Structure 1
């Protein structure tokens, strides 16, 4: 059984799949309390599903592209069963960087999107840096940046731990101008992808189910 906050169809607002129609499965519960969290409603609220009902709900939308998110979806008991049932789907799993990824087995066309929590989140000390050893080329590493200190911290983490994967720098919405991040990246000659949260530009920062 799984506690799920919402299942909905939208376009992917972030990551390498940005802009593509995607079915989102937002699981309830998180072990972190980031200062800039935009899904606090997923901390506790949700409905109980069995795994067959989850797949049935996903399939009703007619797309084979799925994003498993939260909260922190990897806290769910038996989440591997859902991962296995989505073999054959294109799937991303958004995880907060604090969970040991080595205990999960992904399939072809599956990838992790690991959101490394920067200092302004107040959760950067909760990161499990060993995860960098487990990421593959197709996985993604996201840094959501709110100020120059966050940017500098992210640079150091990349320098110290990075091995494989696509690196994404995203501004905290309404906190920092993306132009600043672009300037810093270009000045430092970093080979990272700078990206906005597209969904917030389309629907606004407080809209749910999008």
Structure 2
């Protein structure tokens, strides 16, 4: 069944920038940031997206995305899957032949996400304050086109993430990203730990923050 274009979504912003994270880092990308999130991670840099925004039809979102003339689209939040019409938007973007990625907290079910979408799934660490919200069954829905991301506050988070990585053999499922919390964990220290422990992960720094400073970036 073809997804409906008749729905509406609460949208915090739609903007064009360079992708600052994941394997798509540096690519010109349209970001559709949806409003709302059931989590409250201590390091969140998009708290302004927790509420507010504008109610926009899916048709108008697709039109706005098309106006930027790029093939890469990231649907993010907040937590985009907190709005049920997000699934329809993702499928319609895929139908329009965009290369689509979804940034999700991992706390909500991803099993119904269009298989053409690249899921960027966070695993929340103890330092986030939301580790108990991890929905581990989501790992069964991942394929090699998806990515798992750990955002690390400190060495305790790092050691916890290493244990999860090894116990669940995450690198055999999809690429794994280790990212330091901006301004809290020294990226060089994280790099040294990864090299010391010979981890099969990608150390990720947020390109947009290197370019434009603290905040979500443009």
Tell me which interval the TM-score lies in, with the shorter structure as reference length.
over 0.9
1:202 maps to 2:211: yes
Gaps (5+ residues) in structure 2? 1-7
Alignment partners' CA distance in 1, 2:75 and 2:115: 12
**1:183 matched residue in structure 2:** 192
How far did 1:83 drift? 1.3
Decide whether the 8 Å contact of 1:6 with 1:209 is kept in 2. no
Which runs of at least 4 in structure 1 moved beyond 4 Å after TM superposition?
none
Where 1:101 maps in the other structure, the secondary structure is coil
Contact 1:83 1:106 in 2 (8 A): no
Which consecutive unaligned segments of at least 5 residues does structure 1 have?
A: none
Question: Residue by residue, what CA displacement relative to the aligned partner does 1:107-141 show, whole Å, maximum 9, x if unpaired?
Answer: 2xx20001111111100110001111110001011
Q: Show the 5 A alignment for 1:6-45.
A: 6-45=13-52
**Distance in 2 of aligned mates of 1:7 and 1:51:** 12
**Larger deviation: 93-102 or 159-168?**
159-168
Backbone CA RMSD of aligned residues: 1.1
Per the normalisation by structure 2, the TM-score is: 0.92
Residues 76-85 or 187-196, more deviating: 76-85
Matching of residues 1-210 of structure 1 within 5 Å? 1-87=8-94, 88-107=97-116, 110-161=117-168, 162=170, 163-206=172-215, 210=218
| Matched-pair contact (CA < 8 Å) for 2:208–2:217 | no
